[in-house]
Structure 1
Amino acid sequence: MTLSVLGVVLALALFLLSTSPSLMPRPWWAQAIMSGALMVAGYLTGFVIDWLARLIADWMNLTVTYDPRVSSALRIGGLAALAVVFIALLVINYRSARRTAALVGMPAPSLARYVGSLVGAFAVTSALVFIYEAIYQVWRLVLMAAEPLRIPATVATWLAWALVAVIVLLGVEWGLIRQVVKAASRWASTRDRQTPHGVEAPAVAERSASPGSAVRWASTAREGKRYLGGAPMQPRIEALTRRAAREPVRVYSSLVAHGENLDASVEEAMSELRRTGAFSRSVILVVVPTGSGWVDEWNVQALEYLTGGDCASVAVQYSYLPSWMTFLSYREQAAEGGYRVIDAVAAEIARMDPAHRPRLFVTGESLGSYGAQAAFASPAELLDRVDGALWIGTPGFTELLKTLTCARHRGSPQIAPVVDNARHVRFATKPADLHTDLYGRELGRWEFPRIVYVQHASDPVVWWTPDLAWKIPDWIGERAGADVSPRLRWHRLVTCIQLLCDLPLAESAPAGHGHSYHAELVPAWRAILGLDPDEEADAAIAQAIAAHPV
């Protein structure tokens, strides 16, 4: 097969673009896989363009002649220029990668690891080329098998490619993807039944799976055990606030315990809320967990400290699969889970005497935020049905988030938009954004109910969307993120793949960056509850949560 010069140029160009900065510093192996795949895509694109150009030239009977000496000079000069540009951009991208790491507080890639990622990229490219050659040989075998049938050459060629494509797609779908899904499901199912190290069954009656609860500890999901099995909160709250406190109610219903029947799980959660007297508390918080059923202690404990324990929180597991699998393939489960539990709790509160109703708050992080917001058709319905909400690291494809962001004031950046003069909804990349816009200007009067979106400028979960492949988002052009590299540029398709690769790395970022939301949740809940700002108290609560994260 003749080497395509255009294909080589495009392969190297995509390689360089793949090493340009994004939101997270990538480990060498992730960089190698992404760069290798993009190099192959670039080469194939150039190869196809070359092939089409030759077909057109033959059809038009065009020929190009040139002096061999000129051709040789152009090749040598082109290769030299290409080498200089290639090395220079590699050095620039390496320095940019180190700066990106510094901005989000993560270890900078060493020169050895960076070089390792480059070598790994070419190894990945070689492996993919080998696979292509294997597919090409299969195509030739199919074409040879068609010769005795006297099929016209052109028709036989296209039929052979179509048959090979079907074989490859079926092999990937049935042989690779399904096996990966099955293996991940088996692993997740087994892990879901385990008990986290150091976690014991609760002894206080205010929690599910305690001695008086109908929920059995043995059948409670792993993340449910983590949420329910920590030490009682009342002594901690009293020690910090120096005031009498109540033991917060915590309810959790596991999906597997009911044969993956979501309706049964919701009904069990409602029975537990009634048993624990949750509807007599001043606040009820509906938590829609992440894909694996995880509930963030920073989120729940912040509310428990600020209310003196006079609150109840409830979470219903809708999936036990890894979050990345639920994120990419089973988003409807998160939406269904959020709708069912929020609707059930809201209906129960609506039947109560208005003078004795608790305030209803909803929250979710990552896929949980997506699922919880799916319960509301519009921002107006959200404001009408709840007394407040905290959305943490909301995925960019969430409809409610997209609606609000599109309605932002002119000049208001996408990473922290101002909507309707911030009358009800506020976006915060840091606690100060709760009271001023990103440029330090005081926001207007904040009315109830209050909705807060906490989203870091460096969180790829918030900023990755499928249309990033062909459409430049405002947040890149605005360059408003303090922890985002100023050298970040949008490149068609490449940036989308870069942020997709950043997703699994985002949770490893330190607090305040990426997809790690910790201390900033305390002032967010304080504002939603309508309490006066108190930075010293918030710092003390954050310190207490950090000391007891479970």
Structure 2
Amino acid sequence: MWLSARAPRPRQESKIILIKHDQTPTLAGPARFLSGLGLCLAALFLMASLTPSLAPRPPVLQGVASGIIAAIGYEIGLAIGGLWRLLELPQPRGPRLIRLRFGALALTVPVLLVAFRESTAWRNATRQVAGLAPLDQGNTLTIAAVALSVACLLWALFRLFWALTRRIETPLRRVVPYRIAQATSLILGLAIFYLAIEGTAIRYAFRAADSTMEAADRFIDPDLPRPETPQKTGSPASLISWDQLGDTGRSYIATAPSAEEIAALKGAPALAPIRVYVGRTAARSAQARAELALRELIRVGGFDRSVLVVVSPTGTGWMDPDAFDTLDFLMGGDVATVAVQYSYLSSSLALAAHPELGVEQAQALFDVVHDYWSGLPRDKRPHLYAFGLSLGAYNSQMTLPLLDMLGDPIQGALWVGSPFLSPMWRYVQDQRWPDSPPWHPRFGNGSLVRTMTQFDGPAPQATPWGPIRLIFLQYASDPIPLFSLGTALRRPDWLRYDRPADVSPQIKWVPVVSMLQTALDMLIALQVERFGHYYVAEDYLPAWRDLLDPQGWTAETTDRLLTALKARRAARD
């Protein structure tokens, strides 16, 4: 065998090359510097927040809203940048990065200038449809200052959050792959922040608000004298003492129209309407309060009237005087209403703090009243209806067992300003006729469900009412029934139709921002009569009339009734 004549190759030293992973920034990486993309999105979001909305906003509140929305826009920009780095896509560095940041700043400044220059005109577009006087340019500085302050505060809070995630991530990267460390630190950071805020700040705020509202509810207004008539709840003969009614209950009972007032307006003999109300302190449990309400209703003769309405009040237990004064006058006093308080908080806070309480109380009250009512002779019992306004409409819809009572149904329900979570309202909207808008949907043949707005009554129906009448009253400018999380990513249905008179034609859909706009509008929807969430007697009247079909009301007496109801509202205000 021949051997190779070539000289042997020199042995090469093996080298182990340690590739140190680049310290890829986490989502919090840009926290030490201002993000160019974040600044651009913050400016664009702020501009969008100043465009026309459903509810008119005072300057300070507009500044708060704009600051919150701008801060969210900035964080979305950071999240997009963080995702870009997480996918290890090419990143600008050095001078190119500096140029991009200066370019972003150069774009941000003119966007903000245009936004604040046009803000007054945009906000006046909302005020115009609400019937409010226009604003001048002088409040622009207030909006800008408040928005900047709120945005900076939230920016600092977000930086604190990302600093926490980095502190968690650092030791994790020693034992797990860096992407797993990133995801784990993000989840743990969110959990810690949630527990810290929800477990301390929010709960403390809810307890403080609940205690404050409870103290206010216990205050007895000396201008509301305790009734002496035995048929009145809160009288010496009542099963519920005057102090157990709470402030809202005492006002509801004391301000009921008298038989003489109703007779004078109607021009015919009338009865004193029966109003039964049980405050939250009257019994310890929802079931006990409901049974107490039933006993009181029996005591005062509520089942002897021609109409009985089971009411689910708002979060604070408030009973809208416009709704029930209208009902009492329209029925000539031949009506009884019963309600039970379940919270001291406003509807939004009550829904966030303890959403189960309202449903539990509404269920207990309806069940005990319906069980007693269904055991009475059909020809001697009143027509039974349900009523709910705002959160009360949600609670009422959650507890009305339509399918379980088809053999012996109630006569109907009136639900006003139904929140977007309300199951029946959502079903009616989803199954409406395609040519009808979501704020005034047409459902089926109109024999079961009809809807109304302040401008449009129930659409003419070829089919008459069936045995059950369900009426939804909603204003098109009310953000509470219209809100949807889906608005963040897609144009809402209510913007696909011609705008009604109370919605600005200049409202445009902007991803994410429109959802935030509507959410903020829900908090300020009670500013203007017949607009937003402020329902009034002029619109309760046709709703009650279509639901109850009372006799003897001519156009002349109806006009007199509206005049009297407006005078009562003016006296309250």
* TM beyond 0.5: yes
Q: Give 1:165 shift.
A: 4.5
User: Does the CA-based 8 Å contact 2:309-2:338 persist in structure 1?
Assistant: yes
Equivalent residue, structure 2, for 1:463? 482
Q: 54, 63, 77: which one pairs with 1:46?
A: 77
Q: Give 1:383 shift.
A: 10
Q: Which moved more, 1:153-162 or 1:425-434?
A: 153-162
Equivalent residue, structure 2, for 1:27? 58
| Residues 410-468 of structure 1: CA deviation (Å, up to 9, x unaligned) | 2111111111232232111126423x4xxxxx433431433221100011122123333
Q: Which has the higher contact order (CA 8 A, sep 6+)?
A: 1
Matched position secondary structure for 1:252: strand
| Residues 476-531 of structure 1: CA deviation (Å, up to 9, x unaligned) | 21133221011212223222221221122111212355433332111221121224
In 2, the alpha carbon distance for the partners of 1:67 and 1:193 equals: 67
Equivalent residue, structure 1, for 2:228? 203
Equivalent residue, structure 2, for 1:97? 123
User: Does the CA-based 8 Å contact 1:104-1:458 persist in structure 2?
Assistant: no
Amino acid at match of 1:10: L
In 2, the alpha carbon distance for the partners of 1:209 and 1:365 equals: 24
Distance 1:87 1:310, change over 3 A: same
In 2, the alpha carbon distance for the partners of 1:383 and 1:26 equals: 49
Unaligned 5+ segments in structure 1 are: 437-441
Q: TM (normalized to structure 1)? A: 0.88
In 1, the alpha carbon distance for the partners of 2:407 and 2:108 equals: 58
Q: Give 1:330 shift.
A: 2.8
Equivalent residue, structure 1, for 2:462? 444
Distance 1:357 1:159, change over 3 A: closer
Equivalent residue, structure 2, for 1:539? 559
Q: Give 1:384 shift.
A: 6.1
Counterpart check, 1:520 vs 2:539: yes
| Residues 200-257 of structure 1: CA deviation (Å, up to 9, x unaligned) | 2123232211121121002221111111122652111011012111111111111222
In 2, the alpha carbon distance for the partners of 1:172 and 1:390 equals: 38
Q: Give 1:262 shift.
A: 0.9
Matched position secondary structure for 1:245: coil
In 1, the alpha carbon distance for the partners of 2:242 and 2:461 equals: 47
Equivalent residue, structure 1, for 2:199? 174
Distance 1:206 1:493, change over 3 A: farther
Distance 1:395 1:54, change over 3 A: closer
User: Does the CA-based 8 Å contact 1:280-1:358 persist in structure 2?
Assistant: yes
What is the RMSD computed on CA atoms of the aligned residues? 3.1
In 2, the alpha carbon distance for the partners of 1:431 and 1:485 equals: 15
Q: Give 1:534 shift.
A: 3.9
User: Does the CA-based 8 Å contact 1:470-1:493 persist in structure 2?
Assistant: yes
Matched position secondary structure for 1:520: helix
Matches within 5 A, 1:16-415: 16-54=47-85, 56=87, 83-135=109-161, 154=178, 164-196=189-221, 198-230=223-255, 232-259=257-284, 261-377=285-401, 385-415=409-439
Q: Give 1:84 shift.
A: 4.1
Amino acid at match of 2:49: S
Distance 1:272 1:102, change over 3 A: same
| Residues 183-202 of structure 1: CA deviation (Å, up to 9, x unaligned) | 11111221221224622212
Amino acid at match of 1:541: L
Amino acid at match of 2:125: R
In 1, the alpha carbon distance for the partners of 2:78 and 2:231 equals: 66
Q: Which moved more, 1:373-382 or 1:194-203?
A: 373-382
Unaligned 5+ segments in structure 2 are: 1-31
Question: Between Structure 1 and Structure 2, how many residues are aligned?
Answer: 536
In 2, the alpha carbon distance for the partners of 1:113 and 1:173 equals: 35
User: Does the CA-based 8 Å contact 1:200-1:229 persist in structure 2?
Assistant: yes
| Residues 309-355 of structure 1: CA deviation (Å, up to 9, x unaligned) | 11111111122222221133433322222222122222212111122
In 1, the alpha carbon distance for the partners of 2:222 and 2:456 equals: 37
Amino acid at match of 1:385: P
Equivalent residue, structure 1, for 2:503? 484
Q: TM (normalized to structure 2)? A: 0.85
Matched position secondary structure for 1:35: helix
Between the aligned residues of both structures, percent identity stands at 29
User: Does the CA-based 8 Å contact 2:244-2:278 persist in structure 1?
Assistant: no
Amino acid at match of 1:350: S
User: Does the CA-based 8 Å contact 1:30-1:501 persist in structure 2?
Assistant: no
| Residues 19-59 of structure 1: CA deviation (Å, up to 9, x unaligned) | 222100122233222222222222222223334434555xx
User: Does the CA-based 8 Å contact 1:184-1:322 persist in structure 2?
Assistant: no
